[in-house]
Amino acid sequence: MTAQTLLQPDQGLELYPDWWRGAVIYQIYPRSFQDSNGDGIGDLRGIMERLPYIASLGVDVIWISPFFTSPMKDFGYDVSDYCDVDPMFGTLADFDALVTAAHRLGLKVLIDLVLSHSSDQHPWFKESRSSRDNARANWYVWADAKPDGTPPNNWLSIFGGSAWAWDATRCQYYLHNFLASQPDLNFHEPAVQDELLSVARFWLERGVNGFRLDTINFYVHDYELRDNPALPPEQRNASIAPAVNPYNHQEHLYDKNRPENLDFLRRFRALMDTYDAAAVGEVGDAQRGLEILGEYTSGNDKVQMCYAFEFLAPDAPSAARISAVLRHVAHVAPDGWACWAFSNHDVMRHVSRWDLSQAAARAYATLLLCLRGSVCLYQGEELGMPEAELSFEDLQDPYGIQFWPEYKGRDGCRTPMVWTRNKLNAGFSQGMPWLPVAREHLSLAVDAQERAPDAILHHYRRAIAFRHAHRALIRGALRKLHVSGDVLSFHREEAGEELFCAFNLSHDPASLHLPEGNWVTIGQELNSSGPGEDGVVHLGPWQPCLVVKR
């Protein structure tokens, strides 16, 4: 077997009507990506300036976190106008220009739709709370107090405390799964569903290619408002909420994950299909996340992709853990489609969360881009950015302020991108940034890594290119999953191409025997090992073996 790199570039995702399948998605957190006007806050024009850099990574899609009009109590995830741009981010004309520029570079555009709740400053909620008999009285989840004046049931907010807030005008409680300033919309009301579909249509008409659907399993609540049962301590899981949050003490059967949600998702999919659009849903559930992923992506009549929190969890995934997750997905979502991520705007950056060395970070990046499913990369992940250390005085996130110091919130993963090491604020802004630029990030700036051939930025580019060079990695089946100690291996197969991928996920050397067949080593640019004369593959610490059958 001759060691050589066999890269046959794929003709692109446009070959397939299901262009989203296997796509690499780059998440942009607008506040922290690039500021174009010196106010210290990133904006749409800033994103447009940096699109050539994003395209240079080789990704297929950008996902832009919320930029809608908002009082910013939860930094855009509290929407007060679904069909306009908040002035701090620019204008609708800026958005249109951004979409046009992205498409010119071959990038599809997803935007973050927050449909489960709005801001309490939204005109819909202002009208709804004004009386019990107005036209939108039933657009939010209202309920009477118990006879003793306490909330209608035991549901808890992810941000702490009861999920119910008292309103003195209606003399009723309203539901809020997050902040009290984020009242939940009532999906049992047909007019609400119709209006939200109109919102989606508004953006599809402006040229977006689809959506990331925030908290997709929170849309529908139990109509009878039944209490959630207690969750035994041994079943509690801190992947959705920090361990100090009593939200983890309940099994969330009734405040989310309702089967009635599937009917709305079918309506949403029917709308998207008319535009050849796609959506990826965020499934926030610590116990049933993968099962819900399977339900929501099954068949061809609901959302195309979902991601759960298995690889956003606190502990680094071992070979055995990854195998268990992939087997579970194969069982609960045999015809569904996962979207994998290690980092995003809500969790500690995975380099810090998992305490990864540079070698380990590269190994996990290569593994991520070899998995079956689509992939989300979070801005700065390609630079190997660790979590920023912030003082309490610098915090902006209400979640972190609520639970400090046991939980420091989400600001540490939201600090500005570092573009130019020796420029003011690392090239992010000419003004005072809304969060400080982390000193520990300066050496990782884009300009410094561009000049360093061995930088992790180039590793990500090579790993993305490697994925695109093999259709088996983009669309193929994942078979023959195997774990031996700290080594995870599997086959990827599509249209006559078969790859064998193995990963040593440890600090110690390992070895393995290749399956029977004529295998040729590929991926040397990703530090791939190949078989020796004895047919045994010797893996160094954190080293992959990537071979193709000939």
> Is residue 180 packed enough to be buried (19+ CB in 10 Å), middle (13-18) or exposed (0-12)?
middle
Identity (one letter) of the amino acid at 240? I
SS3 content of the chain, % helix, strand, coil (to 5): 30, 20, 50
**Per annotation, catalytic residue among 78, 86, 112, 282:** 282
Query: DSSP code of 33?
Result: T
Is there a catalytic annotation at residue 214? yes
Identity (one letter) of the amino acid at 225? L
**Distance separating alpha carbons of residues 27 and 111, to the nearest angstrom:** 10
Instruction: Judge whether 54 and 104 are in contact, CB under 8 Å.
Output: no
In sequence order, what DSSP letters do the residues of 256-313 get, joined into one string?
S--TTHHHHHHHHHHHHHTTT-EEEEE---TTTHHHHHHHHHSTTSS-SEEE-SGGGS
**Distance separating alpha carbons of residues 142 and 131, to the nearest angstrom:** 11
**Distance separating alpha carbons of residues 104 and 111, to the nearest angstrom:** 18
Query: DSSP code of 230?
Result: B
**Per annotation, catalytic residue among 35, 43, 94, 214:** 214
Query: In whole angstroms, how far apart are CA 247 and each of 4, 63, 156, 240?
Result: 52, 28, 6, 9
| Cβ atoms within 10 Å of 7's Cβ, excluding its own | 14
Catalytic residue numbers read 214, 282
